[in-house]
Amino acid sequence: MALVLLHLVFLTIFLHFIVAQQNTGSVTVGASLTATANIKPWLSSSGEFAFGFQQVQGINNFLLSIWYNKIPNRTIIRYPEEGWMVPTGSKVELLLGSGLVLLRAHMYGDLALYPVLHQVL
């Protein structure tokens, strides 16, 4: 029961990101973010929250997360259970049949598929 409630809370928060994307006004099916140093996150319609990859200090890994966007220190408020860190080049994509999917980059350039919405955030 608690797992279902946590899942619903994340979906509710994420709906704000589907409503508005920073440059186009909406996040369309097929839209994606790639874990790189200067990637622009998807913003909520109010601009209060951001969804995307945050680079972990001191290492080249990234954390897929939601954070407060309008304060100087980007305070992370949600991230996948166990703090899934992914390497540079990993990608999150919004797919029609699957929802949010995390494609994790590997050493040899291939990507592995992880459905994000099945993780507790």
Spans of all domains in the chain: 2-118
Give pLDDT tens digits for 92-121.
988 888 888 888 887 555 555 555 544 433
Task: Give the H or E element holding residue 18.
Answer: helix 2-19
What gap in Å lies between CA 39 and CA 72, rounded to an integer?
17
Low-confidence winner among 39-48, 69-78, 103-112 (lowest mean pLDDT): 103-112
Point out which residues pair with 95 in neighbouring strands: 99
> What average pLDDT does the segment 57-86 reach?
84
Q: For Cα atoms 36, 115, 75, give the angle at the middle one, nearest 5 degrees.
A: 50
Between 93 and 3, the higher pLDDT residue: 93
What pLDDT score was predicted for residue 8? 42
Give the Cβ contact number of residue 49 at 10 Å: 21
Q: Does this model's pTM top 0.75?
A: no
Task: Give the H or E element holding residue 7.
Answer: helix 2-19
